[in-house]
Amino acid sequence: MPSSVLGQARFSSPGMAPNTCCCSPAAVQRRLPILAWLPNYSLQWLKMDFIAGLSVGLTVIPQALAYAEVAGLPPQYGLYSAFMGCFVYFFLGTSRDVTLGPTAIMSLLVSFYTFHEPAYAVLLAFLSGCIQLVMGVLRLGFLLDFISCPVIKGFTSAATITIGFGQIKNLLGLQNIPRQFLLQVYHTFLRIGETRVGDAVLGLVCMVLLLVLKLMRDHVPPVHPEMPPGVRLSHGLVWAATTARNALVVSFAALVAYSFEVTGYQPFILTGETAEGLPPVRTPPFSVTTANGTISFTEMVQDMGAGLAVVPLMGLLESIAVAKAFAGLASPTGLTNVLGSLVSSYPVTGSFGRTAVNAQSGVCTPAGGLVTVLVLLSLDYLTSLFYYIPKSALAAVIIMAVAPLFDTKIFGTLWRIKRLDLLPLCVTFLLSFWEVQYGILAGALVSLLMLLHSAARPETKVPPTLVSQRALGCSAWREPASGLFLSVSPPRCLGFLECTHVAASTNNPPRWTSHKQGVRLCCPLGTRLRVLLSADLKGFQHFSTLEEAEKYLRQEPGTQPYNTREDSAPEHKIALLQA
């Protein structure tokens, strides 16, 4: 696909000028991105989109079944959650690569807050989507900035261990294991002697096959046009097999289980019955009738508690991370969750794994998602075959999918760069094993306290870029917490002050104005200049360029500052330079 055309289809609408008329073509394309690429659609794009959509479809089917197990829901709910994101993104997608659907981490959160009840899961999808839409309308995305990278890494690492270890019971064929992590660890080791040999062997074989196919996929050389047709065909077959490895391995395991079923002996624990047909379109359940009575909407919301904050925020974080990694814009996650709740979906978000498959398959437009939808719709005729899929095979799929999420390098990286950031990471990591919301909240609070402490007690040090100024008799300091570069020296010495976070007022002027020596400031004009002007600083000066300031400091004639306050003592002169 020509990159220039795709670039226009992907980025032309978001780049619309602020004063563009809401009825202009650019504005319409911004609201409905499909109009940016559909008029230029070609048969070549259709071919590539079909291959990519088929590849993603074969990947998402076994993953959806497996993630439903992580969420504690019947397997069909994973399939219900898989196709609405592809359908919505076909119309509203801003990147050809991104796919929306169930993910391991989102499934784990659903299991925490919905008590393995489908009605709660569907309602959580609806409410999460509404919250995400409101955040988008009110531009509250800045709230995500309070969740720092160490907190996200700590939570992701803990979630990876929780999800992976949670599948050990299925991998070994153990039953009646609690879902709470600490109890799960205890009972798994307590009952390790009850391991079913058939499940354990099949699960380990599936893991080895998935690993081998993944390594083959990573080391397959790219196909070149000058290659002989036979070589290109063999490369294509290897690529197809390794890309659809999840579907191949699960199909292999199901065939093995069916072979044993025919003989009358079944050594594996099977997935069992999966509801046939497509989900009915209906409103989310705003109440639930149980044997003990009816649970009202208010009671359901109270039961989900912190999940109404954690699930939408983590969903947005995942979608934004996927979009940034693949050069896209924010995904329509909120609308997908709202519409998905109408077809019994639980909360979804952007998927790194399937998005990577989409990109590597050569997808050209978001139309690849429509092919994925068609693959999922065809399940109306295949759901009876899911009965024979061993749970150990799905456990192998989950473990191999979440293993790359554990970032082993982050600990060493933070140790080298900023060891103090290991504190929020470890706090989040440890507390997330207890309760997810406590881990994220505690990590965010620790990060905030660290930020406040550094702002209140800034350290000072000489920035390397200003060391050369010592030849002019300057002394330079830096206050990293506030972004300040200070230079206190004899008069006519140029120093720099990066004023990004300067807050000044008439009653409380910056403390660097009290020095009995010259202080020079360097800062972009605009808002920061108005902040300094509002402080009524004595001897305030600023220049348009650094060269003019240097001429002035060398007392060269013909150079005057743009603004000078003459009512000040000469030792308190302050120069503001336009960056």
Express each pLDDT in 241-286 by its tens digit: 898 899 999 999 999 999 999 999 999 999 998 888 888 899 999 9
DSSP category for residue 540: E
DSSP 368-392: HHHHHHHHHHGGGGTGGGGGG-BHH
Domain boundaries, the chain: 28-222+233-410
The residue among 538 and 24 whose pLDDT is bigger is 24
Strand-pairing partners, residue 461, are 478
| pLDDT surpasses 70 at 3 | no
Q: Are 75 and 68 in contact (CB under 8 A)?
A: yes
Q: Are 47 and 381 in contact (CB under 8 A)?
A: no
Q: What type of residue is 124?
A: L
The pLDDT score that the predictor gives to residue 279 is 84
Range with the lowest mean pLDDT among 128-132, 187-191, 235-239, 525-529? 525-529
The pLDDT score that the predictor gives to residue 330 is 60
The pLDDT score that the predictor gives to residue 246 is 93
Going through 377-520 in order, the beta strands assigned E by DSSP cover: 475-479, 484-489, 518-519
Among 479, 471, 481, which Cα is nearest to 497's? 479
Residue 100, phi then psi, degrees to nearest 5: -110, 145
The pLDDT score that the predictor gives to residue 145 is 77
The pLDDT score that the predictor gives to residue 412 is 87
Q: What's the rounded Cα separation, in Å, for the pair 377 and 83? A: 8
Q: How confident is the model over 495-499, as a mean pLDDT?
A: 45
pLDDT confidence tier of residue 307, bands split at 50, 70 and 90? very high
Neighbours of 348 (CB within 10 A): 31
Q: What type of residue is 509?
A: P
Q: At what angle do helices 391-402 and 43-71 cross, to 10 degrees?
A: 110
Neighbours of 69 (CB within 10 A): 22
Q: What's the rounded Cα separation, in Å, for the pair 432 and 406? A: 14
The pLDDT score that the predictor gives to residue 78 is 93
Range with the lowest mean pLDDT among 126-140, 330-344, 443-457, 559-573? 559-573
- Please state whether 491 falls in left (phi above 0), alpha (psi between -120 and 50) or beta: beta
The pLDDT score that the predictor gives to residue 299 is 94
- Buried b / exposed e over 403-438, threshold 16 CB at 10 Å, is eebeeeebeeebeeeeeebbbbbbbbbebbbebbbe
The pLDDT score that the predictor gives to residue 573 is 37
DSSP 162-227: HHHHHTHHHHHT--S--SSHHHHHHHHHHTGGG--HHHHHHHHHHHHHHHHHHHHHHHPPPP-TTS
Q: What's the rounded Cα separation, in Å, for the pair 93 and 29? A: 11
The pLDDT score that the predictor gives to residue 220 is 78
Among 385, 166, 167, which Cα is nearest to 257's? 385
> How long is the chain?
579
| pLDDT surpasses 60 at 55 | yes
Per-range mean pLDDT, top range of 325-329, 381-385, 443-447: 443-447
pLDDT one-digit tens code per residue, 103-140: 999 999 999 999 899 999 999 999 999 999 999 889 88
Q: Are strands 484-489 and 475-479 parallel, antiparallel or unpaired?
A: antiparallel
Instruction: Report the SS3 class of residue 144.
Output: helix
Q: What's the rounded Cα separation, in Å, for the pair 237 and 213? A: 12
Q: How confident is the model over 289-304, as a mean pLDDT?
A: 92
Q: What's the rounded Cα separation, in Å, for the pair 171 and 187? A: 15
DSSP category for residue 461: B
pLDDT confidence tier of residue 227, bands split at 50, 70 and 90? confident
| pLDDT surpasses 70 at 59 | yes
Q: What's the rounded Cα separation, in Å, for the pair 77 and 67? A: 9
Average pLDDT, the chain: 78
DSSP category for residue 490: S
Q: What's the rounded Cα separation, in Å, for the pair 3 and 51? A: 19
The pLDDT score that the predictor gives to residue 63 is 93
The pLDDT score that the predictor gives to residue 224 is 74
The pLDDT score that the predictor gives to residue 524 is 46
C-alpha 159: how far from its chain's center?
A: 14
| pLDDT surpasses 60 at 7 | no
Per-range mean pLDDT, top range of 366-380, 405-419, 422-436, 534-548: 422-436
Q: How confident is the model over 501-528, as a mean pLDDT?
A: 44
Q: Which residues contact 53 (CB under 8 A, 6 or more apart)?
A: 363, 367, 368, 369, 370, 371, 372, 374, 375
Per-range mean pLDDT, top range of 7-21, 337-351, 460-474: 337-351
Strand-pairing partners, residue 575, are 541
- Buried b / exposed e over 483-514, threshold 16 CB at 10 Å, is ebbbbbbeeebbbbbbbeebebeeeeebebbe
Q: Report the run of H or E that residue 415 belongs to, with start and end.
A: helix 409-417
pTM of the shown model: 0.75
Among 531, 440, 579, 564, which Cα is nearest to 152's? 440
The pLDDT score that the predictor gives to residue 396 is 95
Q: Are 424 and 151 in contact (CB under 8 A)?
A: yes
The pLDDT score that the predictor gives to residue 548 is 67
Residue 477, phi then psi, degrees to nearest 5: -130, 160
The pLDDT score that the predictor gives to residue 388 is 94
pLDDT one-digit tens code per residue, 388-420: 999 999 999 999 999 998 988 888 888 888 889
| pLDDT surpasses 80 at 494 | no
The pLDDT score that the predictor gives to residue 200 is 96
Token pair recorded at residue 505: 């007022």
| pLDDT surpasses 70 at 316 | yes
Residue 339, phi then psi, degrees to nearest 5: -70, -35
The pLDDT score that the predictor gives to residue 530 is 61
Instruction: Report the SS3 class of residue 16.
Output: coil
Going through 9-89 in order, the beta strands assigned E by DSSP cover: none
The pLDDT score that the predictor gives to residue 534 is 58
Q: Are strands 475-479 and 563-564 parallel, antiparallel or unpaired?
A: unpaired
